[in-house]
Amino acid sequence: MQIEKLLTDYHIPYVTEHKNVRYNWIGIHCPFCPGEQNYHLGYSIDDNYFSCWRCGGHGTTKTIAKILSVNWDRAEEIIKKYGGTTKQKASSPKVRVGTNKFQFPSGDLTIHDYHKRYLERRNFDPERIVEEWDLLGTGPIAKLDDINYARRILAPIHWDGRIVSFQGRDITDKHMAKYMACPPEREIISHQHILYGTPDLGRIRGVCVEGITDVWRLGQDSFAIFGIKFTRHQIRAIARLFEEVVIVFDPDPQAQAQALKLEQELIFKGVRAWREEISTDPGSLGQEEANYLMKQLMK
């Protein structure tokens, strides 16, 4: 579907680069999230579907009708006019994992002083964090499949004893895409199907958080699902690995709504799950505060 032309013709604001927009996606404000003004609803150019990383996937006709404030029939007419299909359902990405060999971006992957300064600004101990999580760094030139990963801290993602993917965190705070994952074609296993951290160490209880920096802060009793959206694969992985799970998401309403859904899904799978609300995102806690929180949660 000619989504950019459609949005332009109907004067709907959109972006192709933003901290909440992945490569080869179009971002718009999600009409299904009340008051959302941060381009959380994405349209996949490759796979032709809509998905909000806050509230999940939505059918094409339903989404266009909501965005343009038109009825269902009119939405179908508009979709056809711009080359789309009205038979499309809300879906997950077409997985093309592993079609290309896994590798990291080009260039020097050494952690330099400017990477350490970023970690220090976030109140992390650089030496400890880098060693504990096997972190790598990219310099001013770092590309993979024509995607620019310059000036990022790269977190290798381990699963079943091997590196299967990575996620990079911008250290300049200037790039629109704060987090960038390995291209799906190069992932050995999709990061959206697994967990970040060390959940394979035989613990009964784990603390589920959103992102990699939350794990760096809370330590090895925590694991991340790479955002607030979760997949059935991740639900199965969590249920297999843990008997008890404490969910600690950011305090905003959308995150807490997803935390409730996750809690319900895990309980249905037989996991004893509950939510713990805190006043900020876990990654922004001071280290002493984070240590105390984990001590309480792991009692």
User: CA torsion sign, 235 to 21 to 93 to 67?
Assistant: positive
- 22: tokens are 């992945």
Q: Which residues contact 228 (CB under 8 A, 6 or more apart)?
A: 53, 54, 210, 249, 250, 254, 255, 258, 259
Give the model confidence (pLDDT) of 205-254 as tens digits.
999 999 999 999 999 999 999 998 899 999 999 999 999 999 999 998 88
pLDDT of residue 92: 46
> Using an 8 Å Cβ cutoff, are 214 and 176 in contact?
no
Q: Which strand ranges, in their side-by-side order, compose the sheet holding 162-170?
A: 136-137, 152-159, 162-170, 179-181
In whole angstroms, how far apart are CA 164 and each of 167, 179, 262? 11, 17, 24
pLDDT of residue 52: 82
**Locus of tokens 């999230």:** 33
**Can you tell me whether residue 160 is helix, strand or coil?**
coil
CATH of domain 95-191: 3.90.980.10
- 210: tokens are 């959103």
Give the fold, CATH level 3, of 195-299: Dna Topoisomerase Vi A Subunit; Chain: A, domain 2 (3.40.1360)
Give the helix ranges, DSSP H, for the chain: 3-9, 60-68, 72-81, 113-121, 126-133, 212-218, 232-241, 253-268, 287-297
pLDDT of residue 99: 78
d(CA 179, CA 282) in angstroms, rounded, equals 17
**Can you tell me whether residue 114 is helix, strand or coil?**
helix
pTM: 0.73
CATH class of 3-81: alpha beta
CATH 3.90.580.10 in the chain, residue ranges: 3-81
CATH 3.40.1360.10 in the chain, residue ranges: 195-299
User: CA torsion sign, 87 to 190 to 149 to 229?
Assistant: positive
Q: Which strand ranges, in their side-by-side order, compose the sheet holding 196-197?
A: 196-197, 222-224, 205-209, 244-247, 272-275
% of the chain surpassing 70 pLDDT: 94
Give the model confidence (pLDDT) of 235-244 as tens digits.
999 999 999 9
> Using an 8 Å Cβ cutoff, are 297 and 268 in contact?
no
In degrees and rounded to multiples of 5, residue 284 shows phi and psi of -95, -5
Give the model confidence (pLDDT) of 63-105 as tens digits.
999 999 889 989 999 999 988 876 654 444 454 666 789 999 9
Give the model confidence (pLDDT) of 161-203 as tens digits.
899 999 999 999 887 678 889 999 999 999 999 999 987 778 8
